Amino acid sequence: MPSLKSIKKRIVSVKNTRQITKAMKMVSAAKLRRAQENVVAARPYASKLSEVLGRLSGNVPADCSPLLQQRESSDKALLVVVTSDRGLCGGFNSNLCKAADRFIKERRSSYAELKIMTLGRKGYDFLKHRHPVWKNHANIQSNCNYQTAALLAQGIIEGYLAEEYDEVYIVYNEFRSVMTQEITFTQLLPVKPPTSAADEVEPREYIYEPGQAELLAELLPKHIEVQIFKTLLESVAGEHGARMTAMDSASKNASEMIGKLTLIYNRARQAAITKELMEIISGSESQKG
């Protein structure tokens, strides 16, 4: 049985760890509220922009914009993997990285070249040992803003127009709730606007000024920017939710461990006291004899 001093030292160490995990949980909870508000605010705009693109693209030929046109030989692709820069958030990063790894292995035979771009240090650290990473952008989610998303989108669009890749996919954790983040794959390029069910049943006529082609030329890059910005917001909110859940679980586990160690400490202390009493009684009896 370990000594009383070592057990007491372990109890103090676990208590210190519990204080840290509780503090991290409180910090993540505070950050989560703001991140969740940003996600809720961005979703309607992204959804409405997709709806407008769906109506516009349905009335113009696909070759009016290279961002809409499906290329005949799609043998080059780009996968954008969005993870966090920090850990201690449960399976938030590992599950997504494993899903990206499966996607790469399944699709690599379909493409002559499959490039990987990582947004976040954890994704880069995981994938660099398994696949060659084309580009990595770290420390962009700590100060997530639209300007950063616009620059990323501009670089991706320029590479697509230069035919460095024919298709662009992005994988990220979509925020569902504090306890749930859903791994989501989305095709960024070429753009596939959703079709409106209401317009299919009852087509509507619109008057556009300027023309539809001009509007598409302006809206399509904006659509890519908004999708990347929304993806970053979803990932940030999911990270804080996952970290809050993980730290709450760690705090509970620490409390349970403290209880078990305290029980072991009391038993060891009781055994030591009993041993001392037995030695005293034995000594007293020997003197009487």
Q: Which residues does the chain have with pLDDT short of 50?
A: 197-199, 201
Angle at which helix 4-57 crosses helix 212-288, to 10 degrees, equals 170
Please give the DSSP secondary-structure letter assigned to residue 62: G
What is the model's pLDDT at position 204?
Answer: 62
pTM for the predicted model, two decimal places = 0.85
Domains with residue ranges and CATH for the chain: 4-22+249-288 (1.10.287.80), 30-245 (3.40.1380.10)
| Spatial separation of the C-alpha atoms in residues 192 and 133, rounded to whole Å | 26
Question: 3: which residues sit within 8 A by CB, 6+ positions away?
Answer: 268
What is the model's pLDDT at position 272?
Answer: 84
* DSSP β-ladder status, 181-189 and 167-175: antiparallel
Torsion sign (Cα): 17, 19, 24, 29: positive
Question: Is the Cβ–Cβ distance between 58 and 199 less than 8 Å?
Answer: yes
Instruction: Give the residue among 169, 150, 287, 141 at the shortest CA–CA distance from 226.
Output: 150
What is the model's pLDDT at position 1?
Answer: 61
| Spatial separation of the C-alpha atoms in residues 225 and 69, rounded to whole Å | 18
Q: Which residues are catalytic?
A: 89
